[in-house]
Copies of this chain bind each other. A is one copy, B any other.
Amino acid sequence: MSKKEPKSLSPLLRCQAGPVDVTGFDPGATPGYPKDKQKEDGDDLRSDVEPLLDDLQERLFAAGIDDSNAPRVLLVLQGLDTAGKGGTIRHVIGMMDPQGVHIHSFKRPTDEELAHDFLWRVERELPRPGQVGIFDRSHYEDVLVQRVDSLAPADEIERRYGAINEFETRLVESGTRVVKCFLNISRAEQKQRLTERLENPEKYYKYNPGDVDVASKWDAYMDAYSVALTRCNSEVAPWHVVPADKKWYRNWAITHLLIEALGDLDLGWPPAEFDLDAELARVQALPEG
């Protein structure tokens, strides 16, 4: 990391306590990005931070090998279609050792999932000790699409905000660092990205006619996000609003939020749980051919 980079990005992006209005944030902003730096591209990001991210992630992974109480990190990615959840995973999580990563993409709930409480399917996908978990969508869908489309009764939606806060508090207390990011794109940028998916045959697979139905409910989604970010912006698991119109900024910002979360764990390397000299002697006694 360049010395000019911010000491801590998280405070610049996290929501203040009190009512949150997601429409009040600029999707094109670049808070914390060093003014003297050129526009970042993927390769720059990689060469700048990959060794650091790699080192921090390996310490976490190492901590989890023999210790079921080792910490975990959970990155929650939320945002409307085209906001860049997939691109973040590809470019940011793609810099990490895949052995230490657990990614889950939450789709429309199955019948089996609907037969359980909304957190049932989420519990099953939590990162294990030493892992970085990534939720591509999450339990927040249960207070977003379910609220906008009235897929659950109003009192059930209401109950969920509290249930989410209790759930996340329990996660944090049991050693999981929770990093919640709302990828904030503008309507104009979303329209542009949807158009690109229709203009390039290699991107047709990313296009879903239902995305336009969702896009046309923009204001209802902004309201639902504002309520969710207001109600579930706890001290232990605060929300970050990540401006996402500029992909390079989004990748840079989420990489730094992860680096900060991993760095805060302040992990050393696990000590040898064996007699070093005795083991060296045993290894030296092995034949070579």
Task: Please give the residue numbers on chain A whose beta carbons come within 8 Å of chain B beta carbons, in ascending order.
Answer: 62, 65-66, 86, 89-90, 93-94, 96-99, 101, 103, 105, 136, 186-188, 190-191, 194-195, 198, 201-202, 204-205, 207, 209, 212, 215-216, 218, 269-272, 274, 276, 279-280, 282-284, 286-289
Contacts and interface: CB of A to CB of B under 8 A. Distances in A.
A202 B283 contact: no
A105 to B, nearest CB: 7
Copies in the complex: 2
A191 B97 contact: no
A272 B62 contact: no
B198 A279 contact: yes
24 contacts: A62-B205, A66-B205, A90-B97, A93-B98, A94-B97, A98-B101, A98-B103, A186-B288, A187-B287, A190-B286, A191-B286, A194-B283, A194-B286, A195-B280, A198-B280, A201-B271, A202-B269, A204-B269, A207-B272, A209-B274, A209-B282, A212-B286, A215-B286, A218-B287
A207 B99 contact: no
Nearest to A59: B202
Contacts of A98: 89-90, 93-94, 96, 98, 101, 103
A96 B95 CA distance: 10
A90 B99 CA distance: 7
A191 B90 contact: no
Nearest to A187: B288
Given A62-B205, A212-B282, A269-B204, A288 B188 contact: yes
Contact of A187 (B212, B272, B286): B286
B94 A188 contact: no
A202 B97 CA distance: 16
Contact of A99 (B97, B103, B202, B215): B103
